[in-house]
Amino acid sequence: MTPLILHVPHAGTLIPPDVHRTFELSPAELREDLELMTDWYTDDLFSEGVDPESIVATPFSRLVVDVERFSDDAHERCAVFGMGATYVRSTRGKPLRTLSETEREGLLDRFYWPHHRKLDELVTSVLAKRNRCLVLDAHSFPSRALPIQPHIRDLPEICIGTDAFHTPPELTRFASSWFHAKGYKVAVDFPFSGALVPNSTYRRDRRVLALMVELRRDLYMDGTTLTPNPRYEELRTTLRDFRNALSGFCEEFQ
């Protein structure tokens, strides 16, 4: 068992029929949000050679429930845009759906908590065997800022996201320097920040390290056809090498 856990929260596209019926967007508007908000191919790009038992992912779209968010909107900064754990607004600020508290809790019980229980259990298992683990949080973002981010300009190719408690400066430097040495334009905590940490150890256990890696999608896919571009396999190999180097970092870090 390696110390590295791969977390892939936003590659899924499934929307159960009963959830789909609650959406208020037109088919075209819903398709636009799915295309913008899905982290296309991240489940494949990051996972070459990874033991499936070391991967925590969900097949469901983040429009159903976003497992990356805090469950409590009071602690989730994206909730101000209607995009907490259960989205009620689209990327253009339109009403997505109306949820009662009972309906919201039902969605969390069905999709959110099972995902987090699996992550908590895996982290506990890795810590018991290795006394340290590193959660690699795998994401992507469009080549243009989302409609709710009109102020964002000059997007990097690779975004490294950190957590003040679970991402030591040495880890941030290692990751950003690694990608920079490969010729990528890298930014830290821009345009997105943070890195997911399991609920059971969040801000409690420094043996749990966390790092988010966000890929600008034009590095590996066509944003119109949603198909891989000629650089896809090159990036997949790069990410495999990075993941191996990251495991080595975690092994040696004190």
- pLDDT tens-digit profile of 65-114? 999 999 999 999 999 999 999 999 999 999 999 999 999 999 999 999 99
User: What pTM was computed for the model?
Assistant: 0.95
Q: What is the DSSP string of 203-248?
A: TT-TTEEEEEEEEEGGGTB-TTT--B-TTHHHHHHHHHHHHHHHHH
The model's pLDDT over 115-153, given as tens digits with 9 standing for 90+, comes to 999 999 999 999 999 999 999 999 999 988 777 776 777
Mean pLDDT computed over 193-220 = 96
Residue 70 burial (10 A CB sphere; 0-12, 13-18, 19+): middle
pLDDT tens-digit map of 4-20: 999 999 999 999 999 99
**Is 70 exceeded by the pLDDT of residue 178?**
yes
* Domains delineated in the chain: 4-252 (3.40.630.40)
> pLDDT for 38-64, tens place per residue?
999 999 999 999 999 999 999 999 999
What integer pLDDT is reported at residue 151 of this predicted model? Answer: 76
CA 215/CA 238 separation, integer angstroms:
12
pLDDT at res. 152: 79
* Preceding omega of 59 cis (within 30 degrees of 0): no
**In which region does residue 218 sit, left (phi positive, over 0), alpha (psi from -120 to 50) or beta (all else)?**
alpha
The torsion angles phi and psi of 107, rounded to 5 degrees, stand at -65, -40
Give the rounded distance of the alpha carbon of 116 from its chain centre.
Answer: 13
Residue that has been written with the tokens 């790009």 in this structure: 45
Predicted pLDDT at 144 = 83
